[in-house]
């Protein structure tokens, strides 16, 4: 007898690219609005609600696109499976290595590019969390882990997966890796050219890790560790000056 079961075909190029754009455009629009269009600094409440609402909402959107239109498995994002403690340990090591890399390369980057002082928004954030331990705990907890590290790393691996399904050759996959890393660096242009280069390099390393291991959880941990340590150091410095 003939097998009449419908054959599930892999979504084509149009679906893959459309899904990538559906995730790229909201991020690009937010970046443009935050740093180019808006004429007032965000309040302290926006620093907390913004990442949680936007980042949390985008996580659900990304997961829907991944398992819905793209008909991909959650396991391909490196979020499932055993090995949680190993991923936490690897992520902590990666985050520490990225902090060491920044400490080593920052003096060179400062010589190549004129250092840009912290924006007023960042100063306002550091002042706020340095004065209220509850705000600091909230920032180091759900804001960093969900709204920043979780969302941004899921965003990264989702875009990589979509474009790697289109550009399947080794050269194409490396071109995608470098392209996405450049986008991540440019998204931090408000911090100056040194930040674009520094974050772009770290993005290449993180994308390479995902390409090699297929695991996203260590990247989330590494990102959270990297951001949290810098926030804590800034708070300690702020309290030392007060």
Q: What is the DSSP letter of 167?
A: S
pLDDT tens-place string over residues 11-34:
899 999 999 999 999 988 888 887
Q: What is the pLDDT of residue 1?
A: 39
Burial of 199 (0-12, 13-18, 19+ CB in 10 A): buried
Q: What is the pLDDT of residue 4?
A: 41
Dist. CA 116–CA 118, nearest whole Å: 7
pLDDT at 240 over 80: no
Segment 70-88 shows an average pLDDT of 91
Q: What is the DSSP letter of 187?
A: T
Q: To which residue do tokens 């550009």 refer?
A: 167
Segment 89-112 shows an average pLDDT of 95
Chain centroid to CA 14: 25
Which pLDDT band holds residue 41 (cuts at 50, 70, 90)? Answer: low
Burial of 59 (0-12, 13-18, 19+ CB in 10 A): middle
- Domain spans in the chain, listed from the N-terminal domain onward: 14-241
Query: Do residues 21 and 112 make contact, with C-beta atoms less than 8 angstroms apart?
Result: no
Dist. CA 47–CA 229, nearest whole Å: 18
Q: What is the pLDDT of residue 45?
A: 80
pLDDT tens-place string over residues 167-205:
999 999 999 999 999 999 998 888 889 999 999 999 999
What's the number of CA atoms in the CB half-sphere (13 Å) around residue 79?
A: 16
Q: How far is CA 201 from CA 105, 182, 226, in A?
A: 11, 9, 14
**129 or 153, greater pLDDT:** 153
Collapse the DSSP code of 68 into the 3-class scheme (helix H, G, I; strand E, B; otherwise coil) and give the result.
coil
Tokens at residue 195, please?
Answer: 């930040």
Give buried/exposed letters for 42-56 (b at 16+ CB in 10 A, else e): eeeeebbebbbeebe
Dist. CA 25–CA 33, nearest whole Å: 12
Q: What is the pLDDT of residue 31?
A: 82
């Amino acid at each position: 007898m003939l097998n009449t079961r419908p054959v599930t075909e892999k979504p084509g190029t149009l679906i893959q690219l459309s899904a990538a754009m559906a995730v790229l455009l909201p991020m690009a629009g937010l970046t443009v609005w935050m740093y180019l269009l808006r004429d007032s600094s965000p309040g302290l409440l926006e620093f907390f609600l913004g990442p949680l609402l936007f980042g949390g909402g985008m996580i659900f959107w990304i997961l829907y696109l991944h398992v819905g239109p793209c008909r991909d498995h959650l396991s391909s994002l490196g979020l499932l499976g055993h090995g949680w403690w190993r991923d936490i340990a690897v992520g902590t090591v990666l985050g520490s290595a990225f902090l060491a890399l920044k400490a080593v390369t920052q003096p060179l980057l400062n010589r190549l590019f004129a250092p840009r002082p912290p924006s007023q928004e960042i100063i306002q954030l550091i002042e706020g969390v340095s004065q209220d331990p509850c705000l600091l705990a909230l920032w180091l907890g759900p804001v960093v882990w969900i709204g920043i590290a979780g969302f941004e790393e899921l965003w990264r691996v989702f875009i990589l997966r979509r474009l790697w399904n289109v550009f399947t050759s080794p050269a194409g996959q490396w071109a995608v890796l470098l392209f996405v890393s450049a986008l991540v660096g440019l998204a931090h242009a408000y911090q100056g050219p040194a930040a674009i280069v520094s974050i772009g390099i770290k993005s290449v390393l993180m994308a390479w890790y995902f390409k090699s291991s297929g695991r996203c959880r260590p990247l989330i941990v590494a990102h959270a560790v990297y951001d949290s340590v810098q926030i804590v150091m800034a708070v300690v410095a702020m309290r030392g000056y007060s």
